[in-house]
Amino acid sequence: MPRKPKNNISGWINLNKPVGVTSNDAVSIIKKALNYPKIGHAGTLDPLASGILPIALGEGTKLVPYMMDDDKTYLFTATWGEQRTTDDAEGEVIATSDIRPTEDQIKSVLPDFIGTIDQIPPIYSAIKVDGQRSYDLARAGEIPELAPRPIEIYELSLTETTPDSATFRCICGKGTYVRALARDIAEKLGTKAYISRLIRETVGPFSLESAISLDIFREISDKADLESNVLPVEAVLDDVPVVPLTEQEAMRVRNGNKITFISRPDMERLVKAGLNPKARMLELALLKHKDTPLAVADVEGVEIQPVRVFNL
């Protein structure tokens, strides 16, 4: 059988990762299906979790750090009565409680978890402790001491209750561990809990409504099939100002050189893009030439410095 030709498409796949597959497994399946080596993901999902896993192809991988910073929406179910080593259904039971909070009791504590709060990550996490991953230390029988970290919870609501569980929807910033959030809500209620279901509904501009199944990549047979499922490189920058460039400016940017807008028409171009050339503050912008993305740039006043240059 002839080898499948390598693809060179750049962009993003809005993947709906199924339960039971690791994030790296999902990347490997897509990489094998497409025979495409330059691929990565933005934001790990645990095997027991499902939902949005943004997949970057080609030049899209240069934007992974920006995607990691995007806000996320989670739907999760906390099962009351048990605390587990991993804070989810995979772990061993380490504590129990007979207390089952009522709906009113649950709602009364939610305001304590909205805004900027300190959170101690789960010991089964990828955070490094003295150069080692916390989950590696935990698996070796050690209990790593993790310092609390500030996180942002923008919205937290109760969507459903049963005698033994509660389901929540949470919109949060980067670095939030939903497993730890469920653990801490239970502690506040005087009981124990672990995550029994976790669905990531959105990451930045990506949502479940437009996500595609991993099964599709077991069936893709040609480049046309691939292209129909790939979003543009700039899809993850939907809220970033776009600055159009001239041919001469584009040539400098392609070489990674800074450009300066001095003339009044140039500064008006910045204003039209939604930037403030009189402000001495750092702003992010997408640079384009004839609708082709050239680079992501830091803009400070009238100075534009490319920080991620695309080869498109």
Q: Which residues are catalytic?
A: 46
Distance CA 186, CA 82 (A): 10
DSSP 112: G
Neighbours of 238 (CB within 10 A): 10
Distance CA 135, CA 129 (A): 10
77 dihedral zone (left: phi>0; alpha: psi -120 to 50; beta): beta
Q: Which residue has the tokens 């047979």?
A: 221
Rg of the chain over all Cα atoms, to the nearest angstrom: 23
Work out whether strand 93-96 and strand 206-207 pair parallel, antiparallel, or are unpaired. unpaired
Neighbours of 173 (CB within 10 A): 15
Of 184, 194, 190, 168, the C-alpha closest to 100 is 190
